Amino acid sequence: MRRLKSYVWRYRRRYLAGGACLFITATLAMSIPYLLKRAINAIELGQSSREVTLFAAAIVGIALVQAVARALSRTLIFNVGRDIEYDLRNDLFAHLQRLPQSFYRAQQTGDLMSRLVNDVTAVRMLLGPAILNLVNTPLYYVYAVSIMIRLDPVLTVIALLPYPLVLVVVKHYSRQMMEQTLRVQEQLAEMSSVVQENLSGIHVVQSYVAEAAATAKFAAINERFQASSVRLARVRGRMLPVMKIAASLGTLVVLWYGGLHVISGRLTLGDLVAFIGYLGLLAWPTMALGWMLSILQRGRAALQRLEHVFGAVPDICDAPDAAPLAAVQGRIEFRQVDFAYHTPGNGHQVLDGITFTIEPGQQLALVGRTGSGKSTIAQLLPRLADVSDGQILLDGRDIRTLPLQQLRRSIGFVPQDPFLFSDAIRANIGFPLDPVDDQRVHEAATVAGIADEITAFRYGYDQIIGERGITLSGGQRQRLTLARALAADPRILVLDDALSSVDTRTERRILEALRDAQRGRTSIVIAHRISTIQHADLIAVVDDGRIVELGDHESLLARDGLYAEMVRQQSLEEELAEL
C-alpha cells in the first residue's frame, strides 16, 4: 500500500475533483426525497397544480444535473485508475528490465506476465471503482442517516437495526475472500506459465507425440483454477444475499412502523415517502459493500504479488562513484576471478582463479569441454553476472567502477542461444541502433555471412521472421544475432559458441571476415571446433572452472597437454566423418 501512495498523490487533483463531483451528486440525490415529500404534502393539502408542477420540474432538473455530476465523478476517478494502471505497468516493466539474470532463473515467465497484466488490472479496479465506492458509501450513509434522524429518530433506529448484520457478514467473509482471491490469482499465474511454456515448446510436444499428456496437465491445472474460482464465487454468493436481506428488512419495517405513524398522525405521508426514499438511497451502497470488498481483497492480493517483484533489488547496477572511460581501448584483464551461483539448490563453484590478459586488438579463444565454465567467463565481462571474488579490468579500471551503460555498449555479446524478436530482419539487426541505420545493418549482415540469404527472401530486410526467429534455420538465427552485435560497432566482441549451427567452412569464412572488420578491436571467441580458432592470438583451455593451459596454437601443441589431446580427437573425428 505504501508504494501506491506515490501514484495516488501524483493524481491527487483529479481524485479531489472526482470527490467534489461525488459530494455534489450525493447532495443532489438527497434533495430529491425532500422534494417528493414537499410535493406529496402539497397534494394532501390540496394546493394548486402549479406548485406540484414546480416540484416535479425541480426533481427532473436536479436528476439531470445529478446525472452529469455522477458521470464526471466516474470519468475522473475511473480514468485516474487507468492512468495509474498505465504508470504502474510501465514502472513494473522497466523494473523487470533492470533485474539480473539470477532473478529470472528462479521465476516463471508466465507468472511474471500474469503479474504484469492481470495483477496490475486488479490494482486499477482497486484505485478506480473501489475508491469511488469507498468515498460514496460513507458519504451517502452520513447524509441519509442524519436526515432520517431529523424526520423520525425512533423510525431511523428501527430501520437500521438489520444493518449491523452487514458489518458482521463483511468481517466474517473478508478473510475468506482474501485467501481465495490470492489462491485464484496464483493459479491463474501457474496456468499462464504452463500455456507459455507449452506453446514455446510446441515442436517438442508434437515431436514426442505428447499432445495428450500436455492437454491432461493443462486440464488438471485448469480444474484446480476452476475449483478455486467456484469457492471464491460461493463466498461472494453467500455474502450478497445477506446484504439484500438487510436492505429489504429495513424497508419492510419502515413500511409497517412508519405506516402506523402516518395513521396516528405522528408522521405525514410525505415524510414517510421521503424516509423510504432515503432508506432506498442506502440500498445500493449497502449491497455494493460485498462487491467493493471483493475488489479490495483482489487488489490487496495483487499488490502483494507485485510487491514481490518490486522488492527484488537489481544487484548489478552503477556504483555511486562510477565514472566513464574517456575512450574504450579494449584491454581486458581477469585477476584471480572466482564465481559461484547463489541460487537455491545451486551453490557450486563455477570459476576458480581465472587469470589472463588480452591487449587491445587481440583475439582470445576459450576452449574446453562442455560445462567447464567458458560461457560464465563470457557473461562476467558485460556484467550479466558479477564476480564472487577477484577483479575484471577494462583499460586498467575495475568494470564495477564503470557506468553499466558504457560497459555494455562497448561490448557486442553474442550468446549461445540466439534470441530474435518477432519483427522484420532490419529491426532485429538494427535493434541496438536508434534510429536504425540501413548502411550499418547491411554491412553487419555482410560480415556475418547472411546478406545473400536475406536478399533472397521475398521481402528482403523487411521479412518478418516470427517469434524467436522460428521461420529461420539455426545457422541463420546465429548469424542474424551476430549481425545485430556487429551493427552496434562495439570495441569488444564476445562470441559464446555463436557459430555452432553453421558448417566448418562457413564458420571459418565468417571468422576471417570478422578479423578484417574488427581489426584493431578486441574479441573473445568460444568455440568447440578448434580448427576455426587456430589463428587466435591467445588460446585458453578451461577445465572444471580453471584455466589449465594458456598460449597460442603452436605452443599449446608443443606442450602436449589437454589442448593437444582435443586437437587429435577432433582430427580423428573429421577423418572418420570423411570415410
Q: Do the domain assignments include residue 370?
A: yes
- Cα–Cα distance between 460 and 442 in angstroms, integer? 11
Q: Are residues 352 and 285 in the same domain?
A: no
Query: Is 417 contained in some domain?
Result: no
Q: Which residue type sits at 232?
A: L
- The pLDDT, as a whole number, for residue 567 is 87
Amino acid at 127: L
Residue 79 covered by a domain: yes
Nearest 5°: phi and psi at 544?
Answer: 55, 45
Cα–Cα distance list, 135 to 18, 36, 146, 293, 356 (Å): 10, 26, 17, 13, 66
- How far is Cα 156 from Cα 90, in angstroms, rounded to an integer? 50
pLDDT tens for the chain, 579 residues: list them: 677 888 889 999 999 999 999 999 999 999 989 888 888 888 877 766 778 788 889 989 999 999 999 999 999 999 999 999 999 999 999 888 888 877 887 788 778 888 888 888 889 988 888 888 888 888 998 999 999 999 889 888 888 887 777 777 777 776 777 777 778 878 887 888 788 777 767 766 776 677 888 888 888 888 888 888 888 888 777 776 776 776 677 778 888 888 888 888 888 888 888 888 888 888 778 777 767 777 888 888 888 889 888 988 888 888 888 899 998 999 999 999 999 876 545 567 899 999 999 999 999 999 988 888 898 999 999 998 889 999 999 999 999 999 998 999 999 888 888 888 888 999 999 988 888 888 999 999 998 888 999 999 999 999 998 877 888 888 888 889 989 988 888 999 998 887 777 777 777 777 777 777 777 789 999 888 787 788 889 999 999 999 999 999 999 999 999 989 888 888 877 667 665
Identify whether 269 is part of a domain: yes
**Which of 530, 484, 483, 480 lies closest to 504 in space, CA to CA?**
530
Query: For residues 246 and 162, is the Cβ–Cβ distance under 8 A?
Result: yes
* Residue 111 lies inside a defined structural domain of this protein: yes
Answer whether residue 323 is part of any domain: no
> Is-contact 486 444, C-beta < 8 A?
yes
Statement to judge: residues 160 and 231 lie in one domain = yes
Q: Which residues contact 494 (CB under 8 A, 6 or more apart)?
A: 378, 381, 382, 411, 412, 413, 414, 523, 524
Residue type, 511: L
Residues 379 and 248 reside in one and the same domain: no
Report the run of H or E that residue 394 belongs to, with start and end. strand 389-394
Beta pairing, strands 332-340 & 389-394:
antiparallel
**What is the number of H-type helices and E-type strands within the chain?**
21, 10
- Are 170 and 228 part of one and the same domain? yes
Instruction: Mark whether 204 and 260 lie in a shared domain.
Output: yes
Question: For residue 416, is it within any domain?
Answer: no
Look up the pTM and report it.
0.75
Confidence at residue 353, expressed as pLDDT on a 0 to 100 scale? 93
Q: What is the span of the domain harbouring residue 357?
A: 328-410+525-579
Alpha-carbon gap, residue 548 to 556, rounded angstroms? 11
Q: How many domains does the chain have?
A: 2
Do residue 7 and residue 155 come from a single domain?
A: yes
Q: Which of 562, 35, 540, 1 is nearest to 274 (CA)?
A: 35
Output the nine-digit C-alpha cell for 562.
Answer: 589437454
We report the CATH number of the domain holding residue 157 as: 1.20.1560.10
The answer to whether the CB of 524 falls within 8 A of the CB of 359 is no
Answer whether 366's CB lies under 8 Å from 542's CB: yes
Q: State the cell numbers at 255.
A: 413500511
Give the E-state strand segments of 263-328 in sequence order. none
Residue 15 lies in a domain: yes
User: Residue 561 is part of a domain; what is its CATH number?
Assistant: 3.40.50.300
- 306 and 340 fall within a common domain: no
Do 272 and 364 belong to one domain? no
DSSP state of 465: -
